Amino acid sequence: MPRSRSFSSLVVADPEGRKENQMAGKPISRMYEDRIFAYGVEKIYDRVENGETIKAIALDLGMSRGWLSTYLNHDDSAAELLALCRAKAALRCT
């Protein structure tokens, strides 16, 4: 029996502009992203700028340090922003 749609055609944009798959492909990633959006990405960068570690922030959000670090470094602009926040934190310590 031929399929009427491929799984890749089931991708839709939600009201916040994120794309999500209608299939249950990555429920943990989706749950973690929802936590980040609910908490606020800006707040995470502010905490890094204030000298907190990614590990401490990840524990507060209920996720692994590795997952949060990967998320915050997902593209060049996000990685540059994280590096800038870390540099500001280092300047405060001196």
Q: Is residue 51 part of a domain?
A: yes
Q: Is residue 2 part of a domain?
A: no
The upper half-sphere exposure of residue 5, i.e. CA atoms within 13 Å in the direction of its Cβ, equals: 7
Count of structural domains within the chain: 1
Q: Is the dihedral angle over the CA atoms 87, 77, 25, 17 positive or is it negative?
A: positive
Please say if the pLDDT value at position 14 is more than 70. Answer: no
Query: Per residue in 72-82, pLDDT tens?
Result: 999 999 999 99
Residue range of the domain that includes 70: 13-93
- pLDDT at res. 92: 87
Q: Is residue 29 part of a domain?
A: yes
pTM: 0.70
